[in-house]
Amino acid sequence: MSKQFSQSHLLGIKDITRKDIELVFETADNFKAIINRPIKKVPSLRDVTIANVFFENSTRTRISFELAQKRLSADIVNFSASSSSVSKGETLIDTVNNILAMKVDMVVMRHPAPGACMFLAKHVKASIINAGDGTHEHPTQAILDAYSIREKLKEVGGKKVVIVGDITHSRVALSNIYCLQKLGAEVMVCGPSTLIPKHIETLGVKVEHDLMKALQWCDVANMLRIQMERQDIKYFPSLREYSMLFGLDKAKLDRLNKEIVIMHPGPINRGVEITSDVADSKHSIILDQVENGVATRMAVLYLLAGKQD
Ligand code: CP
């Protein structure tokens, strides 16, 4: 019997199993080989129509999903809130139902409200993929991040990963915590106490406020962006102070007695959470993460399409 994804939507890493994640990885391995061939396209999703519905800005996720869909020969419609009838007061359900009335099979959605994708999945008849819902989850980012660690270090299980920065406002942090732990990695979060949620230890993560100690502990450091657009109060005195205490620069890396892998989900604020000499160094796998986004998203789309019978 062929292996199947356990869910008909991808709303969050919390809902899926280790087997699901490993199935995505195996499927992505095949797609990665295909997209590195001269003929990059396969007919797997011919006659499947996918709507990319983005209520928030995106560069990587949106382009990566669109490229993944094109490589799989799907038909695509793109929707962005700024150029749609949402600005005239249309609700989320009405907007999506109108798109679905045009015979759309899957919806990839980014929305500023946590839970928006779950709400949609309960109310519409299509497979929903969460491309980031507010401060909640960003499941395909976590999958591509874990896939990139596996590619670089051979496996994720047993590795120590520190997630540094604005954990409170980060959907990438929560999805990464679930994904890495399901794969058997140890996870630490590091940042100013104002940007670390209270009781986060209950998720089974370590908490550290000293970046040098966190870097000494880890095999991998995932540097997150300060999400100014989600902060309504000041969480630290200045970006300069944040960068001195929690930004990663070459001097801090040189003080370590070992090599670590550096990651960042993007977009990068160069000079704030990471300096250019580190972001562009041989320790960084930031562009591998972006490249792996296409193969892993192809895998997710392919596996979810297989559930639509
Ligand atoms: N990593 C990420 O989600 O980037 P975008 O906001 O550009 O999609």
- C-beta 59 within 6 A of ligand 1: yes
- What φ, ψ does residue 248 adopt, rounded to 5°? -100, 120
3-class DSSP assignment, residue 154: coil
Per-residue HEC secondary structure of 245-309 comes to HHCECHHHHHCCCCCCEEECCCCCCECCCECHHHHCCCCECHHHHHHHHHHHHHHHHHHHHCCCC
CATH class entry, domain 13-137+290-305: alpha beta
What pLDDT is stored for residue 11 in this prediction? 98
Å from CA of 59 to ligand 1 middle: 6
Mean pLDDT in order along the chain per 10 residues (309 residues): 86 98 98 95 96 94 98 94 74 87 93 94 93 97 98 98 96 98 98 95 98 98 84 77 95 95 95 96 97 98 86
- CATH ID of 139-285, from 3.40.50.300, 3.90.550.10, 3.40.50.1370, 1.10.238.10: 3.40.50.1370
- Where do the domains of the chain lie? 13-137+290-305, 139-285
CA distance 191 to 168: 10
* DSSP for 182-227, written as a single string: HTT-EEEEES-GGGS-TTGGGGT-EEES-HHHHHHH-SEEEEPPP-
Global pTM value: 0.94
Partners of 51 in the beta sheet? 77, 107
- pLDDT tens, residue by residue, 247-274: 999 999 999 989 999 999 999 999 999 9
Choose one of 60, 222, 230, 264 to mutate for the ligand 1 pocket test, by most ligand atoms within 8 angstroms of C-beta: 60
Å from CA of 91 to ligand 1 middle: 24
Contact indicator for 44, 68 with CB cutoff of 8 Å: no
Ligand 1 atom nearest 265 alpha carbon: 1
What pLDDT is stored for residue 58 in this prediction? 94
- pLDDT tens, residue by residue, 281-299: 999 999 999 999 999 999 9
What pLDDT is stored for residue 230 in this prediction? 64
What pLDDT is stored for residue 87 in this prediction? 67
